[in-house]
Amino acid sequence: MTQENQDGVHSHAGFVGVHSHEGGAPHWHDEFGEHLFEDLSAEEFAARQLDWRKHNVQIVTVGIDIGSSTSHLMFSKIYMQLVGEAPDVRAVTVAREILYQSPIWLTPYLPDNTIDMMALDEYFAEAYGAVDATREHIDTGAIILTGEALKKVNARTIATLFAREAGQFVVASAGHHMEAVLAANGSGTVARSRRDQRTLLNVDIGGGSTKLALVLDGHVIATAAVAIGARLIARDAEGRLTRIDGPARTVADELGITLTPGEPLAPEDERRIVQTWTDVIAGLVQRKPPEGLAAKLMLTDPLPDSPRAQAMTFSGGVSEYIFQREETDFGDLGLPFAKAIRNALNRNTFGLPAIVDPNLGIRATAVGASQFDVQGGVNAYVTDESTLPMMNVPVLAPGFELGDTTPPEVIAASIRESLTRADLDEGAQPVALSFTVGGNDLPDALLRTLADGIRSALPITTSGSAPLVLVVNQGFANRFVMPNQDFHILKEQRPALRLGMLLKEDLGVACDVVAMESVHLSEFDFIDIAQMMHPSEVVPVTVKSLLFAGGMDRRSVKQALIDAALKR
């Protein structure tokens, strides 16, 4: 759709590169602005087209969210801009068109309390039918599995459902920590915190649990979860209890309430239960150390005492009721629970100065995955080439600052924290550790500290249970190195090579090591590493990133482009 005003300036509803209208003058638009017509020659037009295609990618992606209470999926068209020159390229998603959103389904269960895969597959087939797409039309996808039951029982089964797309689809089984981080990203709280340089607390209240994520200047710095959720108690149309989960019994016992399947829940008892839930969440938001009932309901450690959040955001199914976007009773405690929370918010019981509505509620999650190939491949040190190719290796981005006085313990703790955030068990699968080190000179002593920290954080991996993937970014200094350059110069400029050799040859780790220079990666990225190419000794790398519903507002996108351009 094109809109034109009297000055001959026009804009498009979608996102377009170099183009012309009905044989008119070729011209182009950036992702925001309106550009005046430019008279381009055929050669200039072709050059611009080529440049545009090199730096702009469009893909169709699907995000499938399977939770313990509800499931949904969404098809989107993604417009990505590649900022920077290979290999240090950053992909920024600049626009998203929603092609189709499924309804929110109650996740179907079999009598043995596992997910009914047949029923789920039928929902998905219906959704594909609705967009008139076959599975070949989809470039990428992300399947997010949440809820403890799913993680333990069904993850593999569900992954096989999408076996046909195994390559393009990333599958993340999210435990409490990762769920909290996904919700903070999905709701746009992370993007908002980065954009506004604020400390925010996202509270995601779902069917089975409540997840808290503390976000400082765009980084999730702490997460916590508690067994409070609207569907821990469910009832039929007549109000008779049909589901009473353990944590709901814990609360009822504490309050002296008897919950009996097939019996109704007295309104006064219902009020007391939702009020107790609200009080526990308020206590956690205020960072009171959980005691008594609150301690019993905790699924993780509580959040640290500081820093204090400047505002709170809500996501998850219950937030739809809090903000009164949804008023349908789904046979659980969603409505009364939200009313109790709303009253508490109106009276500022949560003790935070502001509440921001991220506007995404139950759909505050991953909406798919972006994907791009690093042009020309990446310089790599590989101890055993038969390790490659590797697919969908999850990326960890530990957040320490490497300085002269950083002890290896700090590095190890930071790596372990990043494993926790991703809910990954050390040694159970390969992981890619991504570091950014500053400055031109990287002394051996510093690299040795880094190597010691890695070995101590990953004892199982380094004893040979899985290959270790390392990615080292050296800010501005590190550039693509031509293979015919003198090895000593080459070595100086290749911190990943040096780190890999240190680990393998000096420290003698038993695992295979794949160490790559300068690929910009973030947490929740997954990478495919293809077989090494000779004689250039580079490996082709594909970066897949989880895409989130939030953070697509104009100001956040602008901030992301600036950050990418400045390599922040």
Q: Does 275 bind other proteins (CB under 8 A)?
A: no
Apex 68 CA angle, 62 and 72, nearest 5? 25
Least gap, CB of 57 to other proteins (angstroms) = 24
Under a CB-based contact definition with an 8 Å cutoff, are residues 67 and 147 in contact? yes
The reply to whether 194 sits near other proteins by the rule CB under 8 A is no
Residue 20 is a binding residue for other proteins (CB under 8 A):
no
- Token representation of residue 442: 């990287």
Which burial class, exposed, middle or buried, applies to 101 when counting CB atoms under 10 A from its CB (0-12, 13-18, 19+)?
Answer: middle
Closest distance between other proteins and the C-beta of residue 554, in Å?
A: 8
CA distance 344 to 529: 50
Q: How far is the CB of 342 from other proteins (least distance, A)?
A: 6
Candidate segments 97-105, 235-243, 344-352, 493-501, binder of other proteins by CB under 8 A: 344-352
Q: Does residue 335 bind other proteins (CB under 8 A)? A: no
Longest Cα separation, the chain? 81
Q: Are 229 and 205 in contact (CB under 8 A)?
A: yes
Long-range contacts of residues 262-265, Cβ cutoff 8 Å, at least 24 apart: 264/235, 264/238, 264/239, 264/240, 265/233, 265/235, 265/239, 265/241
Interface residue with other proteins among 196, 373, 492, 563 (CB under 8 A) is 196
Give the footprint of other proteins on residues 200-239 (CB under 8 A): none
151, 561, 563 from 566: Cα distances, Å = 39, 9, 5
Rule CB under 8 A: say whether 101 interacts with other proteins.
no
The distance of closest approach from Cβ of residue 80 to other proteins in the complex, given in angstroms and rounded to an integer, is 20
Residue in 325, 505, 510, 562 binding other proteins, rule: CB under 8 A? 325
Long-range contacts of 128-136 (CB under 8 A, 24+ apart): 130/100, 130/102, 131/75, 131/99, 131/100, 133/60, 133/75, 135/164, 135/165
Q: How far is the CB of 538 from other proteins (least distance, A)?
A: 42
- Contact region with other proteins (CB under 8 A), list: 134-142, 348-356, 392-400, 474-482: 348-356
Measured between alpha carbons, how far is 555 from 17 in angstroms, rounded to an integer?
20
Query: Is there a contact between 315 and 204 (Cβ–Cβ < 8 Å)?
Result: yes
Q: Of 325 and 568, which CB lies nearer to other proteins in the complex structure? A: 325
Classify 56 as helix, strand or coil. strand
- Strand segments, DSSP code E, in 179-293 are 199-205, 210-216, 219-226, 233-235, 241-244
Sole window of 101-109, 126-134, 318-326, 370-378 interacting with other proteins (rule: CB under 8 A)? 318-326
Given 1, 5, 43, 482, the residue binding other proteins (CB under 8 A): 5
**Nearer CB in complex with other proteins: 5/405:** 5
Residues 276-315 close enough to bind other proteins by CB under 8 A: 310-311
Segment interacting with other proteins (CB under 8 A) among 165-173, 192-200, 407-415, 429-437: 192-200
Of 14, 239, 307, 353, which one interacts with other proteins (CB under 8 A)? 353
Nearer to other proteins, 7 or 39 (CB): 7
Site for other proteins (CB under 8 A): how many residues? 25
Whether residue 235 contacts residue 241, with contact meaning beta carbons closer than 8 Å, is answered with yes
346 lines the binding site for other proteins (CB under 8 A): yes
Residue 86 in contact with other proteins, rule: CB under 8 A: no
Q: Which of 215, 212, 211 is nearest to 196 (CA)?
A: 215
**DSSP 8-state assignment for residue 536:** T
Q: Does 356 participate in binding other proteins (rule CB under 8 A)? A: yes
Query: What's the CA gap between 358 and 94, in Å, rounded?
Result: 19
Among 2, 157, 242, 348, binds other proteins (CB under 8 A): 348
Residue 196 vs 492, nearer CB to other proteins: 196
| The dihedral formed by the CA atoms of 231, 236, 242 and 246, expressed in degrees to the nearest 10 | 20
Query: Of 97, 357, 537, 563, which one interacts with other proteins (CB under 8 A)?
Result: 357
Residues that bind other proteins (CB under 8 A): 5, 195-198, 310-311, 322-325, 339, 342-343, 345-348, 353-357, 359, 553
